[in-house]
Amino acid sequence: MSKKFGILRFIGTIYKIIGVILGVIAVLAALGVCLGSFLGGAALSDLSQALGTQNIGFLGPIGGIITGLAILIGVGIAAISQYAIGEAIFLFIAVEENTRATAAFLQRQLNG
């Protein structure tokens, strides 16, 4: 049976690739924020004291962990959604192929 809907297959693949890329970005960004808060948190605290400004509580490791989790959850949901859209496109194509194959089978049964 011939493959139909080539552009939909391409679009579904693109959505899945974007989902994977977003997943990787989510993990890397969350790790970067956490590492930045641990490694640079003390330096930012010293800088704020040297400038005479009030120390913001979210500059420390706890703020970095919370921000990292927020990034991981937010971008992670976007990544899963993008991948799911790609899978849904392939599901619709599979349903169409199954319906077409069933119709062809029934047609052969009626004629043969």
Task: State both tokens at 14.
Answer: 């693109």
With 70 as the cut, is the pLDDT of residue 12 above it?
Answer: yes
| Confidence at residue 101, expressed as pLDDT on a 0 to 100 scale | 92
CB 26 within 8 A of CB 72: yes
| Confidence at residue 44, expressed as pLDDT on a 0 to 100 scale | 64
| Confidence at residue 86, expressed as pLDDT on a 0 to 100 scale | 97
pLDDT digits (tens, 9 = 90+) for 21-61: 999 999 999 999 888 887 776 666 666 667 766 655 556 77
Alpha helices in 1-112 (DSSP H): 6-50, 61-111
Among residues 1, 7, 15, which one has the least CA distance to residue 88? Answer: 15
In whole angstroms, what is the distance from residue 94 CA to residue 14 CA? Answer: 17
Task: State both tokens at 24.
Answer: 């990787």
